[in-house]
Amino acid sequence: MTSGPAFRRLLNPGPVALSDRVREAQLGPDLCHREVEFRDLFTEVRSGLLGVYPQAAGYQAIVLTGSGTAAVEAMVSSLVPRTGRALVVANGIYGERIASMLMASGRAHKVVRSRWTEPLPLAAVERALDRDPGLTHALAVHHETTTGRLNDIGALAERCRARGVVLLLDVVSSFGGEAIGFADWEMAACAGTANKCLHGVPGLSFVLVRSEILTAGATGATSLYLDLYRHAEAQAGGYPLFTPAVQATYALREALAELAEAGGWTARRAHYRELSGALRGGLQAQGVELLLDDEAASGATLTAFVLPGSLAFEEVAAGLKEKGFIIYPGQQSLREQIFRVAIMGALERADVDEFLEAFADVAGALAASRRDE
């Protein structure tokens, strides 16, 4: 990757470090989004998104301008009908955010939770579905970025299928970097973003929706701007509904081409795994522990580490920033307890090795200054 005077390596879970190629793609010619040139670019990006997972053939990609949250909210507030009743299955911040969206859009819903360090509460899901046959939809997060856990969506999908419950997923931090069961999970839709595992720039997000749902055309959306049915109708004609992030569209086209050339999502996951493995092993060798003891459950794209007892996040992060690395704190109850390091974006093994050295220096200096006090 490139370096420069103000260059920092982003190890936060999006926005990610850009390749030169993606960064430069933003400098394409000015375009009006109502001209055929934009239609062609937009169409290429929409089909490129579907092409990331060849099993997604029965889906359509609806591209929105906005961050990942916009896509999740468009999905939630358009596809859960006003007369529906949703079950949120949550083990982290992003699961809770889905519940807040249902609340904001006035949808009847129920939340089953497990502790953030635990897997999805599948037994509670079964109980809820048994007790409340009126539940029509289930919503969950695939990769829960709060902890780096890759949730067992296959097991949740099985329970939904058995009871005819429609499944909607947040795949914002897994799309492009993990396996997504388009053929097996039978979800009605999933929402993702351009600037996590796809390595695009912030500004675009998307919902992949099963085509038959869109042609059913029943719009019960409680938002005009985020009405997926309206967007789908406009995009079926090749154009976006409102002014899109044109430069981010150029960048996403380039990022999708780069992903395909590098061997697609499986190659990207293998690369992330190699880097995450080196990162985990290297920090463990320095005495830092993983938050999730069930290591098999953690995804390739982000790792939560327990902050060593004597260190505060702010001082570790500040020391690393001086050396050019950005890490990420824990959220809410995990704020004082952990730090997170994401492997997403244009990163190479050398970045991880240099990060490990930087971490050893920073932690060592902080420990020495404690001894001197």
Ligand X SMILES: *Cc1c(COP(=O)(O)O)cnc(C)c1O
Residue 104 or 367 having the CB closest to ligand X: 104
Residue 143 or 358 having the CB closest to ligand X: 143
Residue 14 or 48 having the CB closest to ligand X: 14
For ligand X, the binding residue among 138, 172, 334, 352 (CB under 6 A) is 172
- Integer-rounded Cα Rg, in Å, for the chain is 21
Q: What's the CA angle centered on 166, arms 238 and 130, to 5 degrees? A: 170
Q: How far is CA 187 from CA 159, 211, 214, in A?
A: 12, 12, 14
How far apart CA 271 and CA 283 sit, in angstroms, is: 18
Decide if residue 151 touches ligand X (CB under 6 A).
no
- Number of shown-chain residues binding ligand X (CB under 6 A): 13
Instruction: Identify which range of 65-73, 219-227, 248-256, 325-333 contacts ligand X by CB under 6 A.
Output: 65-73
Residue 105 or 193 having the CB closest to ligand X: 193
Decide if residue 25 touches ligand X (CB under 6 A).
no
Decide if residue 170 touches ligand X (CB under 6 A).
yes
How far apart CA 364 and CA 128 sit, in angstroms, is: 50
Q: How far is the CB of 14 from ligand X (least distance, A)?
A: 5
Return the closest-CA partner of residue 32 out of 19, 24, 41, 20.
41
Residue 95 or 121 having the CB closest to ligand X: 95
Decide if residue 14 touches ligand X (CB under 6 A).
yes
Decide if residue 13 touches ligand X (CB under 6 A).
yes
Decide if residue 67 touches ligand X (CB under 6 A).
yes
Residue 53 or 94 having the CB closest to ligand X: 94
Decide if residue 94 touches ligand X (CB under 6 A).
yes
Q: What's the CA angle centered on 245, arms 242 and 250, to 5 degrees? A: 130
Decide if residue 187 touches ligand X (CB under 6 A).
no
Residue 198 or 213 having the CB closest to ligand X: 198
Q: How far is the CB of 29 from ligand X (least distance, A)?
A: 27
Q: What would the 3-class secondary structure string for 269-314 be?
A: HHHHHHHHHHHHHHHHHCCCCECCCCHHHECCCEEEEECCCCCCHH
For ligand X, the binding residue among 19, 77, 145, 301 (CB under 6 A) is 145
For ligand X, the binding residue among 43, 69, 247, 337 (CB under 6 A) is 69
Contacting residues for 115 by C-beta, under 8 A, at least 6 apart: 91
Q: How far is the CB of 95 from ligand X (least distance, A)?
A: 9
Residue 52 or 342 having the CB closest to ligand X: 342
Strand duo 338-342 + 9-10: pairing: unpaired
Residue 145 or 235 having the CB closest to ligand X: 145
Q: How far is the CB of 360 from ligand X (least distance, A)?
A: 28
Q: How far is the CB of 285 from ligand X (least distance, A)?
A: 28
| Strand ranges of the sheet holding 328-329, from the earlier edge strand across to the other edge | 302-306, 338-342, 328-329
For ligand X, the binding residue among 68, 176, 192, 200 (CB under 6 A) is 68
State the residues that interact with ligand X by CB under 6 A.
13-14, 67-69, 72, 94, 141, 145, 170, 172-173, 193
